Amino acid sequence: MSRRQSTGTWIVIASGNSLKEKDCEKVKIWKEKGCQPPGEEKTKNVIVINTTFRRALWADVLYACDGPWWDEYIDEVKCSFTGNCWTQDLDSSARYNLSYIEAKGLPGLGKEKIIHTGENGGYQAINLVYLLGASKIILLGMDMMEVDGESHWHGNHPGYLNRNSPYSRWVKNFDSLARDLYAAGVDVVNATRTTALNCFKKVNLEDVLCQ
């Protein structure tokens, strides 16, 4: 990965059950407004996590950390998703020709060509877009809790992919990430409808997309 250069705003769309299809449609409209002149840096970017690619086939990046997830969904991704695919799973990156980023189980923000895991893909996707040059990050679908009795808008993963989600531990992990992003001068806001993640400023999606 090359040296960090500004790529503007990134919206990180996770798979929480509070995420609505109309939220993704609003993001798509935001992304398509105001095309950049040739040669200028890109300023509107979207990364989706795991199966949320189904609601944003037009996103710039799909990130999924786990090899078994790629085994299950790679054919569908290759047939329908138009963006770049990233993972921290070395075997999957080689098997499916995915972009690879090294990951370590350390606290805070990974800055030297690696991401820190935070034990969950949302944390890792935030770290990845930092390395890709994000100057502002908007979080969406980052519930970090069950909403209406469900963890994901798409329901449970297939049996062998369905794992327990230790949300309280994950939420705590974000505290050091938030501090490091603030120190690095990256503005992070949380536009998730219903969220247990309180370390980032909460905003309404419609308001932040109009800025």
- Assigned token pair, 124: 């890792």
Q: pLDDT tens digits, residue range 103-160?
A: 999 999 999 899 999 999 999 999 999 999 999 999 999 999 988 888 777 767 666 5
Residue 2 is assigned to a structural domain of this protein: no
Residue 143 is assigned to a structural domain of this protein: yes
Residue 3 is assigned to a structural domain of this protein: no
Of the listed ranges 151-160, 168-177, 191-200, the least confidently predicted one is 151-160
Q: pLDDT tens digits, residue range 11-65?
A: 999 999 999 999 999 999 999 985 454 555 568 999 999 999 999 999 999 999 9
d(CA 96, CA 113): 21
Q: What integer is the mean pLDDT of 170-196?
A: 97
pTM: 0.92
Residue 184 is assigned to a structural domain of this protein: yes
d(CA 95, CA 166): 30
Of the listed ranges 93-102, 115-124, 157-166, the least confidently predicted one is 157-166
Q: Which H/E stretch holds residue 62?
A: strand 61-63
Residue 71 is assigned to a structural domain of this protein: yes
Report residue 2's pLDDT band, with 50, 70 and 90 as the boundaries. Answer: very low
Residue 58 is assigned to a structural domain of this protein: yes
Q: Which amino acid is at 142?
A: M
Residue 1 is assigned to a structural domain of this protein: no
Torsion of CA 167, 124, 87, 148, to 10 degrees: 30
Domain count across the chain: 1
Residue 52 is assigned to a structural domain of this protein: yes
Q: Could you give the count of Cα atoms lying within 13 Å of 71 in the half-sphere of its Cβ?
A: 8
- Assigned token pair, 115: 């991401």
* Structural domain boundaries, residue 15: 8-209
